[in-house]
Structure 1
Amino acid sequence: MHMKYQNKISDELVPILKAYTSQPAPPEGMPLQEVFRGALQQMAQQVAVSSTDQLRVENKFFTNSDGLETQLRVFTPLTETNPKPLLYWIHGGGTMSGLPEQEDSTLYNLALELDCVITSVNYRLTPENPYPKPLNDCYEGLLHVVGNADEFGINKDKVVVGGGSAGGLLTTSVAIRARNEGGPKILLQAMAYPMLDIRDTSDSNKEINSVGVWDSWMNHYGFQCYLTNVPESEYGKTVPNMIEDLSNLPDAFIAVGTMDCLRDESIEYAQKLAAAGNQVELHIYPGMVHVFDGLAPDAKASKDFWSARVAAIKRAFE
């Protein structure tokens, strides 16, 4: 029996999307990554936070395997708990754009609510730095933080990795790499609307191509940037939904909206992880688009999503 999702955006989102998509068009011929980079830098300026009496915000650096200094943005609640659990965060932006600061307000609030240290890694962007460079930065950053647990004030036995969109792609890729290489033990991979498949053949990929937030053509472009010069024969090692062995991975939390082009691949990945013997929690939010929680933080679904993710991470830390 073939089920069809209602192709309908939530009433709560309609006016917000209208405002979002009525912004002036970027200059003709500007590459998509430049458009997104500009938008996310602007967003970062709007939401950036600094230290308060409740929480310390600082930038630390590690040297990656190519010898480059790489930023980790660190959020540390100033509470008695010591050492604290770690939420290792990977920002979104289609792998081709984005920076840790664009999620400052989210991470500030998450750190306080979870009473954990959050580190957000400023990985190299594609297409200039295609796979495996962004993943190397994310994985090596995790090794650095866990390997310097005392400096970061973290309990290396309580590690969750998370992120949205491209951050979801890199989150699960870090988890797979940690399994393959005997790396840090990860208790949970927390993914919001993750990019999981370069094949754009699903219903949601075909149907959701004109919402204006993260349409399937943008997603395909982002994946092509990520996999620049990677032969198709290697996709089975790099594209989560094409990886054959998904056994022995951390528990997973996956959330996606029904009006997100990534809906079907998120659901498929959840099923594949579960079929491989992993614990999976899947949330599907009716009428919600990509990055709905960022666009409409006060929408009921956004609040539900926030609570569900916090609860899942807390359970993992317990």
Structure 2
Amino acid sequence: MLAAAPASPFPAPVVGAVEDREIPGPAGAPAIPVRIYRPEAAPGPCPVVVFFHGGGWVICDLDSHDHTARALCRDAGAVVVSVDYRLAPEHRFPAAVDDAYAALCWVAAHAPELGADARALSVAGDSAGGNLAAVVAQIARDEGGPAVARQILVYPATDARRKTGSFDTNAAGYFLTAAHCAWFREQYLGPEGDPAHVRVSPLLADDLAGLPPAHVVTAGCDPLCDEGRAYAKALRDAGGTVTESHFPDMFHGFFGFPELLDDARRAVADVVQVIVSSGRDRKNDGETGVRAG
């Protein structure tokens, strides 16, 4: 079984300040630990990213994704708020979703004190974190919540039914396996959970119009590849603005290795540009594009 990511042997990207704190959780739930990364001297309010780590809703934490959050903060000149949402099986669905949305609302309300511009607010995450980012973007639209400028989805889980071709062709041999995915889903949903619930499988939402511009990163050797690309297509078909970075030779998890992999460096650079664009373009009307790897 997968284990939480070990500490990186590479030096941590340098940022202006890092603060661990707790913010209010959903009603009746405990406080949510977050880690706030602030860039070095910024000329004014900067973009802000609410980041949800991956790990199948079961493993990983603020430390496992510390380097990723630092890199986005440093390279994009953005405030990054990394969210330590509750994990399954101790806290099954919808606990993670509830925490993620509470964190989004808190960041939007407290942007000025963070030195951030709430009009340039993005949600981002990898794998299960990408799932949460997509889901909270839908909730914010449906419930009249915070205005989200961008949704950044790195090999996101978007369809827990697991019926895509890549789930079969990449079932084994590429780090994340079909067996891992089945185990994670069982822990997250429990025996009675519905994998077709739209807060579990955002691809299955009845209406995908009116969502924030999306940037979707996918890896060709990933069981989740096809559902990530399907979500990008569905958003585009619904009239949304979508950019994609697809890396045919990469595997699930590659985004966390920019010191080692050229494709990871390119993927991170693409995400950085999306974050930067949220600060200079708040009209949400950019062009659609696709990276071929």
Instruction: Please indicate, yes or no, whether the TM-score normalized by the shorter chain is above 0.5.
Output: yes
Counterpart for residue 231 of structure 2: 269
> Residues 47 and 103 of structure 1 are in contact (CA less than 8 Å); yes or no, is this contact kept in structure 2?
no
Flag as ranges the 4+ runs of structure 1 deviating above 6 A: none
User: 2: CA distance between counterparts of 1:61 and 1:133?
Assistant: 17
RMSD: 2.1
- Structure 1 segment 112-191 matched on structure 2, within 5 A: 112-191=74-153
Rate the CA distance shift 1:236–1:167 in 2: closer, same or farther, 3 A: closer
| Contact preservation (8 Å) 2:161, 2:195 | no
User: How far did 1:113 drift?
Assistant: 1.4
210-219 or 130-139: bigger deviation: 210-219
1:303 is displaced (CA, Å) by: 1.8
Using the alignment, how far apart are the partners of 1:268 and 1:214 within structure 2?
A: 19
Aligned to 1:43: 7
Give the secondary structure class of the aligned counterpart of 2:63.
helix
Which residue is 2:61 aligned to? Answer: 99
The structure where helix makes up a greater share of residues is 1
| 3-state SS of 2:269 partner | helix
1:315 and 2:280 matched? no
CA distance in 1, matches of 2:258, 2:166: 21
Residue of structure 1 equivalent to 2:25: 64
Shift of 1:298: 2.8
Q: Structure 1 length normalisation: TM-score?
A: 0.82
Offset from partner CA, 1:156-175 (integer Å, 9 cap, x none): 11101101111100000010
Instruction: Give the Cα separation in 1 of the matches to 2:68 and 2:22.
Output: 21
SS in 2 for 1:238: coil
- Of structures 1 and 2, the larger Rg is shown by 1
> Which residue number in structure 2 is paired with residue 55 of structure 1?
16
CA deviation map 1:223-248 (0-9, x unaligned) = 23222265438624531122121111
The answer for unaligned runs of 5 or more in structure 1 is 1-31
TM-score normalised by L of structure 2: 0.88
| Range 97-106 or range 165-174, more displaced | 97-106
Please say if 1:249 is aligned against 2:211. Answer: yes
Instruction: Determine which of 179, 198, 201 is the counterpart of 2:160.
Output: 198
Cα distance, 1:47 vs structure 2:
6.9
Letter in 2 for 1:63: P
- Counterpart of 1:29 in structure 2 is none
* CA distance in 2: counterparts of 1:43 and 1:239, whole angstroms: 31
